Chains A and B, each alone.
Chain A
Amino acid sequence: EAEVAQSPRYKITEKSQAVAFWCDPISGHATLYWYRQILGQGPELLVQFQDESVVDDSQLPKDRFSAERLKGVDSTLKIQPAELGDSAMYLCASSSPSGGNEQYFGPGTRLTVT
């Protein structure tokens, strides 16, 4: 069964350091999403890609966060510099119009900023 892949699964970093997360969506899924989930809350969308183009980054803190999907396949989310409040689970999801745009999530990257 096809799955969304994410790495690393866990990341501990110090405040003010840079950190990057990687996501490989389900093959053929043109739409890719990055969500942030704070412990005890529901996921919140950070950025949405359609192929290589950003279609929604209204909730992305652009002073420190960046995201790219250069070839329209895998994607990288970067934080620089990391702050204590960035500690959360970062989830990647993907969807396809042929699948009714149902979003399938990866296992997530648990980030702890110390």
Chain B
Amino acid sequence: QQQVKQSPQSLIVQKGGISIINCAYENTAFDYFPWYQQFPGKGPALLIAIRPDVSEKKEGRFTISFNKSAKQFSLHIMDSQPGDSATYFCAASRRSSYKLIFGSGTRLLVRP
């Protein structure tokens, strides 16, 4: 059972554009939703995270939008740069266990 569904699988954006990646979850007990960035051959790096008591969180060019009723959350990368080209993973966990359930990943390519 895939508890976190991520789309699209791949995304191509022009430099300066907005990259949008979406995730949907099934388990209403999830209460922590992070996004990770992973470059080839490296471990995932925590980008930004949100808890369900807020609908949006912004850190620099990265914004998470959260819709609790729809059980969906998304990552927006503003002014996308070639250096943002990487694979992005959404994840979810419950406060009681902290076990992260990851989405399948989105490979982002930002063209110069």
Contact = CB atoms under 8 A, between A and B. Distances in A.
A105 B100 contact: no
B28 interface: no
A104 interface: yes
Interface residues of B, number: 22
A108 interface: yes
Interface in B63-112: 89, 91, 95, 97-100, 102-105
Interface in B14-45: 32, 34, 36, 41-45
Contact of A48 (B34, B46, B98): B98
A44 to B, nearest CB: 7
Contacts of A103: 34, 46, 98, 100
Contacts of B46: 102-105
Contacts of A102: 34, 46, 49
Interface of B: 6, 32, 34, 36, 41-46, 49, 89, 91, 95, 97-100, 102-105
* Smallest CB-CB A-B distances: 6 pairs: A42-B102, A105-B43, A108-B43, A105-B44, A107-B43, A101-B98
